[in-house]
Amino acid sequence: MTDYDGHAGDYQAAKRQPWRTFMEQASALDLIGDLEGASVIDLACGEGYYSRLFKHLGAESVLGVDLSDDMVTLARRQEQHHPLGIEYLCANVTALAAVGGNGQIAVDPVDLVFAGYLFNHAASRHELLEQCQAVKRLLKPGGRLVAVNSDPSDPGDHGEATRPYGYIKTVERPQVEGSAVHYRFLLDGDEAMTITNFFISREVMQAQMETAGLSNVRWIAPRVSAAGVEQMGANYWHVIEAQPPFCLIEAQG
């Protein structure tokens, strides 16, 4: 798993790539829908990018959780400079529970759990199950999980074709459960940062979610927003639209 400490600023810069705004963000917010008055936990919140969006969109309460101390420090710094009433917690999501005790951290259950690239850090089905069980514990009855996740069905053989989007993906072969998936994000100038995720098939992911008690699991393909087509042109999106590097997942608590 990638150690984000020391790379928080680079990851924040990578969030500004056009596909992150006009494809990832647009698709996620479209799926989430109305947040007015909702309670939200943003798991793997990073430097708080989505946490701040959720608050601007009317969420009553937002808690951002991340394992990286550097990421949480950056998120808290932005909250200090531009207060929105967001709380941030540095913790492993598997330690969170609606009722504390036995080493777990007590967190109030919420209407929406958002998991931005959380599940692809699980290197085994057991680790994934623990993450899904934590999500289930954190949801109110009838609450929703919305996740953005590396797409297990993306073969990762695009080579340099994705360079215009600011990333290059390489996949460890043979692609088996727990094999590494590397994303090299190209930043300004000659700088780059690499994130390592792990492969788990859609079938196994869905089975672990259902075992954890999540229901009505749906896989949703992303779309490019009209603003993205207008700003970048339709031709710009052809490669990434044909095989997006990520997908969206929705489930009920």
pTM of the model: 0.93
Position 78 scores a pLDDT of 96
pLDDT digits (tens, 9 = 90+) for 192-208: 899 999 999 999 999 99
Evaluate if residue 4 carries a pLDDT over 70: no
CATH number of 8-151+200-252: 3.40.50.150, 1.10.10.2840, 3.40.50.300, 3.30.70.20? 3.40.50.150
Q: How far apart are the C-alpha atoms of 140 and 225, rounded to whole Å? A: 31
- Find how far residue 79's CA is from the centre of its chain: 20
Bond into 174 cis (ω within 30): yes
Position 100 scores a pLDDT of 67
Among 108, 133, 128, 107, which Cα is nearest to 118's? 128
Q: How far apart are the C-alpha atoms of 160 and 143, rounded to whole Å? A: 41
pLDDT digits (tens, 9 = 90+) for 40-84: 999 999 999 999 999 999 999 999 999 999 999 999 999 999 999
Evaluate if residue 3 carries a pLDDT over 60: no
